[in-house]
């Protein structure tokens, strides 16, 4: 197609992978060169996803580094934990750039990964080499990088919501509590009773209470922004909807503030960042307002009665929480404007 960059997608039969396909199809500078899957290799991709009929005519290919080396410049790994850790060194050795959507390269310390993921970590050298691609906070590091650890969905929403407060020392880092809510698609396409329609429709529940593997990822980011160790309480809830994350974060203010001052802080902090939108005082975002888009919308409220601040941040877990941010990282790696191919409007209603 005459596009500049050739991308391979590995693990395209999951929801993160198929969302990458949707986004890259509209990217003006990147073409999808090949799609790989450990299952269904040899069958048309559209057999797994009929909505792609007539749009994607490619067959799924068996995972093969030599093939990727020939066909692609950059590889997106939408693979399960563990697979990325194994594939990545080979891909880098082959001279390819890698954007990993799994959790394998996000935590800098292997022992923390092992503790929360209950599996061996990737090699330390690669953990060090990986750039943690939370674009609005560390985007500069992505420019020219060859290995991006694309952030998790919860860490993206939570970290963007808390970073300005920690960076400016508005809150006491020891008091942070985040109550997160997610749609079901974050759990992927794998079957489980918990995601069986009749079980989760018209229902909600908390899960992995105090042991969600995104906790140390959030803490790593917040500690870096705060310049000191941050430990948080983090709870995740499953909601009867497909897409969307809403994170409600609470912390004690270090001094009295008003709603307007808080809005102003956030607006200054994210000035010039196209994908973070701050609501005016007294207004709070809904997940549907970012549906299908790469936005993170944020609302803040000061509770004068308790001197706490409440931050509401929302994203589409499959876009800003996965595939969209991966494309944003690609843009940064390649020296493009970060919104290239991503400047579209949420689907509403």
By CB under 8 A, the residues from 292 to 321 that bind its own copies are 292-293, 297, 299, 301-303, 305-306, 308, 310, 312
Contacts of 197 (CB under 8 A, 6+ apart): none
Regarding 228 and contact with its own copies (CB under 8 A), the answer is: no
Q: Is-contact 311 285, C-beta < 8 A?
A: no
Between 82 and 274, CB nearer to its own copies: 274
Q: Which of 58, 23, 30 is nearest to 44 (CA)?
A: 58
Q: Which of 10, 130, 129 is nearest to 72 (CA)?
A: 10
Given 223, 241, 267, 340, the residue binding its own copies (CB under 8 A):
241
Regarding 29 and contact with its own copies (CB under 8 A), the answer is: no
From 5-13, 71-79, 133-141, 180-188, give the range in contact with its own copies by CB under 8 A: 180-188
Q: How many residues bind its own copies (CB under 8 A)?
A: 83
Regarding 172 and contact with its own copies (CB under 8 A), the answer is: no
Regarding 62 and contact with its own copies (CB under 8 A), the answer is: no
Regarding 173 and contact with its own copies (CB under 8 A), the answer is: no
From 34-42, 61-69, 162-170, 198-206, give the range in contact with its own copies by CB under 8 A: 198-206
SS3 of residue 258 by DSSP: coil
Given 2, 28, 198, 256, the residue binding its own copies (CB under 8 A):
198
Given 93, 199, 260, 337, the residue binding its own copies (CB under 8 A):
199
| b/e 303-312 (16+ beta carbons within 10 angstroms → b) | eeeeebbbbb
Q: Is-contact 46 56, C-beta < 8 A?
A: yes
Regarding 184 and contact with its own copies (CB under 8 A), the answer is: yes
Distance CA 232, CA 234 (A): 6
SS3 of residue 27 by DSSP: coil
Regarding 14 and contact with its own copies (CB under 8 A), the answer is: no
153 in catalytic set = yes
Regarding 40 and contact with its own copies (CB under 8 A), the answer is: no
Between 70 and 115, CB nearer to its own copies: 115
User: What is the DSSP secondary structure assignment for residue 340, as one 8-state letter?
Assistant: T
Report how far Cα 7 is from the mean position of its chain's Cα atoms: 19
Neighbours of 126 (CB within 10 A): 20
Give Dmax (Cα) for the chain: 62
Regarding 189 and contact with its own copies (CB under 8 A), the answer is: yes
Between 28 and 95, CB nearer to its own copies: 28
Q: Which of 131, 153, 184, 315 is catalytic?
A: 153
Regarding 171 and contact with its own copies (CB under 8 A), the answer is: no
Residues 272-291 that bind its own copies (CB under 8 A): 274, 277, 279, 283-291
Structure tokens at 22: 């949707």
What phi, psi does 224 have (nearest 5°)? -65, -45
Regarding 35 and contact with its own copies (CB under 8 A), the answer is: no
The set of catalytic residues is: 153
């Amino acid at each position: 197609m005459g596009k500049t960059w050739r991308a391979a997608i590995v693990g395209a039969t999951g929801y993160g992978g198929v969302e990458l396909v949707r986004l890259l199809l509209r990217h003006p500078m990147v073409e999808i060169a090949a799609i790989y899957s450990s299952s269904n290799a040899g069958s048309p991709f559209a057999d797994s996803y009929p909505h792609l009929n007539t749009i994607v005519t490619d067959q799924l290919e068996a995972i093969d580094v030599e093939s990727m080396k020939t066909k692609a410049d950059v590889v997106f790994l939408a693979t399960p934990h563990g697979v990325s850790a194994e594939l990545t060194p080979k891909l880098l050795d082959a001279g390819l750039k890698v954007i990993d959507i799994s959790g394998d390269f996000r935590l800098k310390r292997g022992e923390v990964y092992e503790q929360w993921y209950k599996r061996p970590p990737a090699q330390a050298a690669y953990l060090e080499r990986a750039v943690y691609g939370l674009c609005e906070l560390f985007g500069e590091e992505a420019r020219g990088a060859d290995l991006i650890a694309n952030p998790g969905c919860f860490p993206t929403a939570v970290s963007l919501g808390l970073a300005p407060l920690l960076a400016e020392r508005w809150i006491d880092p020891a008091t942070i509590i985040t109550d997160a809510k997610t749609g079901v698609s974050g759990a992927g396409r794998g079957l489980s009773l918990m995601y069986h329609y009749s079980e989760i429709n018209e229902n909600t529940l908390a899960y992995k209470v105090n042991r969600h593997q995104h906790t140390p990822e959030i803490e790593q980011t917040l500690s870096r922004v705060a310049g000191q160790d941050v430990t948080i309480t983090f709870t995740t809830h499953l909601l009867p909807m497909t897409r969307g994350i809403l994170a409600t974060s609470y912390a004690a203010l270090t001094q009295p503030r008003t709603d307007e001052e808080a809005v102003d802080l956030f607006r200054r902090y994210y000035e010039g960042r196209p994908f973070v939108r701050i609501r005016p005082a007294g207004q709070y975002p809904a997940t549907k307002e970012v549906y299908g888009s790469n936005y993170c919308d944020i609302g803040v409220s000061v509770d004068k009665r308790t001197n706490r601040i409440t931050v509401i941040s929302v994203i589409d877990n499959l876009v800003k929480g996965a595939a969209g941010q991966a494309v944003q990282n690609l843009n940064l790696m390649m020296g493009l404007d970060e919104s290239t191919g991503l400047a579209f409007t949420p689907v509403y209603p």
